[in-house]
Amino acid sequence: MRRKMATGKSRWKLKKTGIRFTQGEASFGVFDGHGGASAANFAAEHLHTNIREKLAWDDSNVQKAVRDAYLKTEEEFASRNCDDGARSGTCCVSALVFKGSLIVSNVGDCRAVVSGDGVTKTLTTDHLPSVTSEKERIVTNVSTCAQNRPHDCGHYINTQYTNKHAHFVSQGGYVDCYHGIWRIQGSFAVSRSIGDRHLKQWVIAEPDTRILPISLGPEFLILASDGLWDKVSDQEAVDVARPLPVGKAESHANYRLHDHLMEIPVNLALD
């Protein structure tokens, strides 16, 4: 599933793939594009095919196979010529049911949560410049702090960022915080994605992957972009989804996820 931007509004499209699975296998994904639709469209078309091909070749190391599939999708998109190709990118989360396991991977801030008896378990990690490991990967040598106040660098790392402004630079680039939001090169708020060739020196397409045995009995899985998670907590999403009848969905409908938070318009169209 991927989100497209049209006239300032989010439009969701549910797409069937042509991938052939054996009995008991299935794949799902959410692709949240930015800087144009090219990267999201391309990843939605090719990522799951690449994952399946890598696993068909060698499924002895599932995490490596998924990693190689993400990187292959990245390389294939980078080789294409399209109007928005240089700046188009997409965050994504994928889920594959394969040989009795649930394989969940992501890049960026798309997230997967699973419910077990109504208790939420988050299966992914948001890839943001504010995450210490991501910041350290991007900025290997902290050398400068905004306003020429090096003694403040530790302060901004270890305290709340609201209404603060600091940035950390290395020879290659910098991570900047302003009004509580960390950004790469002063503009980009996620640290991993497919596409975004102009930032590829720092924004990588290598996913985090988690494998959960289906035998553990998860009730259901929620895959969504930051459009949901910025407004609704993981547990709130599970609490709303859990009472819904299994297998039923309505097209062109509004689902109230939380009475006092937000209402998300959902526009579904089957290809």
Q: Is the model's pLDDT at 94 over the cut of 60? A: yes
pLDDT (tens digit, 9 = 90+) per residue, 26-75? 899 999 999 989 999 999 999 999 999 999 999 999 999 999 999 999 99
Residue 54 confidence (pLDDT): 95
Most confident of 77-86, 104-113, 139-148, 246-255: 104-113
Q: Which CATH architecture has domain 2-126+194-266?
A: 4-Layer Sandwich (3.60)
Question: Does residue 224 or residue 5 have the better pLDDT?
Answer: 224
Q: Is the model's pLDDT at 270 over the cut of 50? A: no
Domain ranges of the chain: 2-126+194-266, 132-184
pLDDT (tens digit, 9 = 90+) per residue, 178-215? 888 899 988 899 999 999 998 988 999 999 999 998 87
Q: Is the model's pLDDT at 118 over the cut of 90? A: no
pTM: 0.77
Q: How confident is the model at residue 14 (pLDDT cuts 50, 70, 90)?
A: low
For every residue of the chain, DSSP letters joined together read -EEEEETTEEEEEB--------TT-EEEEEEEEESSSHHHHHHHHHHHHHHHHHHHH--SSHHHHHHHHHHHHHHHHHT---TTTTT-EEEEEEEEEETTEEEEEEETT-EEEEEETTEEEE------TTSHHHHHHH-SS----GGG-GGGHHHHHHS--TT-EEEEE-SS-EEEEETTEEEETTTB--SB-EE-GGGTTT-B-PPEEEEEEGGG---EEEEE-HHHHTTS-HHHHHHHHTTSPTT---SSEEEEEETTTEEEEE---B-
